[in-house]
Amino acid sequence: MLNRLRVRFSKDRKFGESLRNILGFYPRNVALYRKAFTHSSAALEIKEGVKDSYERLEFLGDAVLGTVIADYLFKKFPYKDEGFLTKMRSKIVSRVQLNKLSVRFGLQKFIEADFGFSKNNHSVNGDVFEALIGAIYLDKGYDFTRRFIQDKVIQDHLDIEEIEQTETDFKSKFIEWAQKEKKVFSFVVVDEIMNGSERQYIIEARIDQQVLGKGQSISKKKAEQIASEQALARLGS
Amino acid sequence: MLNRLRVRFSKDRKFGESLRNILGFYPRNVALYRKAFTHSSAALEIKEGVKDSYERLEFLGDAVLGTVIADYLFKKFPYKDEGFLTKMRSKIVSRVQLNKLSVRFGLQKFIEADFGFSKNNHSVNGDVFEALIGAIYLDKGYDFTRRFIQDKVIQDHLDIEEIEQTETDFKSKFIEWAQKEKKVFSFVVVDEIMNGSERQYIIEARIDQQVLGKGQSISKKKAEQIASEQALARLGS
């Protein structure tokens, strides 16, 4: 019993120290961080149907991250309107960006998942990054988390000016995905609707004739963008 | 000059005291709260194309409110999964709910808007409520705002158990809206798509033959719900 406690304690300490090397601080409640890295395939059931995995922390971390980024952008761009702020934030917290951040922080090695589950699974890296933010928030409070995100995430890893320049081009990404996976993609105008005196196009993004996204806009380009964004979300890319 | 300052000072003090009566604390930076109640129709332009109105604060407040509610639900429901938490949160911060809260707090009387703009405008109340949260956050910090929302908003004004029971029924709301406005509404199955072996229905929600929302699902009911939700968003309800 004592021995088991000793093993547990030493494992926790090692994990805590690895985290310190990456995050720059030593966690108080190590169990929270363990949970942040536990995929449901490797998690225990704490109650019928509810697993002790990272999803709940991810929900919390997603909100905290969104608020800290909102605060940062609000202050950095005092003369930009809410449309700009919203767009910038969604670029910063996009799946692609979060996956990248997770890899840069080297979080992959902490992920606990069952055999047969690939750690390279598209979105698990980003999920775990958000869950980690949730764990830090519960462990250390909001102000600490805000400073961590500003200093260690934004400052060290994000190029805000570059992100500002990048137009999110969902159509290109959708086509890239299809080409990589060797699938046949198509964009099909399936309907034109008169909205008052405005003509709106409804365009579907398809993979192998299967509809994965639909966009509606007065501009065909814009409708394709919306359809592609939807399709990518469905593909988890 | 001195006189003008005196008038300004006395106006600020009166405003600050009215706020204290409603919020339970005296604001530090009164100007922030003024901005939170200023609709763009009554706002000055601070830079070309950017008005000194509540929209930026609303963007910030929306994020802060979402985080505080996430934190609250995370702790209140330790055995519920992230799907439940997400759904509960979106019910709590729905337009309808925020408009109600705004009216309950009596925020309407503070709203500065130009003549010809109706304060009864559907969503301005909720917008202003979120902007107020943004102002409190900037003025007093996150922890203060969290306590304010938990004690003065959730505790005093929300019935979490009741909200948990309520299913958000967008279809009924859409029909109610149409009947109130004496418009002809319809739901039309415009397409059926085979998705693998699954049949998906595409259903449009229309007002006077104009398409306002489209839903896609294997269940007709669900597709109608999605179409109605989209239509309501477009109608600003």
- Backbone angles phi and psi of A225, in degrees to 5: -60, -45
Whole-structure pTM over 0.80, yes or no? no
Percent of chain B with pLDDT over 90: 51
- Rounded CA-CA distance A189/A196 in Å is 20
Say which of A58, A62, A127, A229 is annotated catalytic: A62
How far B210 CA lies from chain A's nearest CA (Å)? 7
Which of 3.40.309.10, 1.10.1520.10, 2.60.260.20, 2.170.190.11 is the CATH number of A2-165?
Answer: 1.10.1520.10
Tokens of B115: 């003549």
Output the furthest CA–CA distance in chain A (Å, rounded). Answer: 79
pLDDT at B104 over 90: yes
CATH architecture of A170-235: 2-Layer Sandwich (3.30)
Q: Does A86 touch chain B (CB under 8 A)?
A: yes
- Separation in Å, CA B48 to CA A77, A79, A182, B208: 14, 9, 48, 39
Question: What is the mean predicted confidence (pLDDT) over B189-210?
Answer: 84
Percent of chain A with pLDDT over 90: 51
pLDDT per residue as tens digits for the range A7-44: 777 888 999 999 999 999 999 999 999 999 998 888 88
Chains A and B form CB pairs within 8 A to the count of 85
Q: Does B80 touch chain A (CB under 8 A)?
A: yes
**Banded pLDDT at B120 (limits 50, 70, 90):** low
pLDDT at A118 over 60: no
Among the residue ranges A167-181, A203-217, B84-98, the one predicted with the least confidence is A167-181
pLDDT at position B121: 57
Q: Is B169 a catalytic residue?
A: no
Query: Residue B1 class from Cβ within 10 Å (0-12 exposed, 13-18 middle, 19+ buried)?
Result: exposed
pLDDT at position B158: 93
**Banded pLDDT at B47 (limits 50, 70, 90):** confident
| Average pLDDT across chain A, whole number | 88
Q: Write A150-156 long-range contacts (CB < 8 A, 24+).
A: A150/A68, A150/A72, A152/A23, A152/A24, A153/A101, A154/A69, A154/A72
Q: CB count, 10 Å around CB of A179?
A: 10
pLDDT at B115 over 80: no
Percent of chain A with pLDDT over 70: 94
ipTM of the complex: 0.74
Q: Strands B50-51, B185-195: parallel, antiparallel or unpaired by DSSP?
A: unpaired
- Rounded CA-CA distance B116/B94 in Å is 27
**Banded pLDDT at B16 (limits 50, 70, 90):** very high
pLDDT at B108 over 60: yes
- Backbone angles phi and psi of B85, in degrees to 5: -60, -45
Q: Does A81 touch chain B (CB under 8 A)?
A: yes
- Among B25, B8, B231, B42, which residue's Cα sits nearest to residue B148? B25
Domain residue spans of chain A: 2-165, 170-235
pLDDT at position A130: 97
Q: Strands A210-217, B45-47: parallel, antiparallel or unpaired by DSSP?
A: unpaired
| Average pLDDT across chain B, whole number | 88
pLDDT at position A1: 62
Q: How far is CA B28 from the centre of its chain?
A: 25
Q: Is A45 a catalytic residue?
A: no
More confident residue, B8 or B201: B201
Query: Residue B79 class from Cβ within 10 Å (0-12 exposed, 13-18 middle, 19+ buried)?
Result: exposed
pLDDT per residue as tens digits for the range B65-102: 999 999 999 999 999 989 889 889 988 998 788 989 99
More confident residue, A135 or B161: A135
Determine the 3-state secondary structure of A117 from DSSP: coil
**Which of B70, B79, B195 is closest, CB to CB, to A59?**
B70
Task: Say which residues have a Cβ less than 8 Å from residue A2's Cβ, sequence separation at least 6.
Answer: none
Inter-chain residue contact B195 with A214, CB threshold 8 Å:
no
What is the H or E stretch that residue A149 is in? none
- Backbone angles phi and psi of B157, in degrees to 5: -125, -10
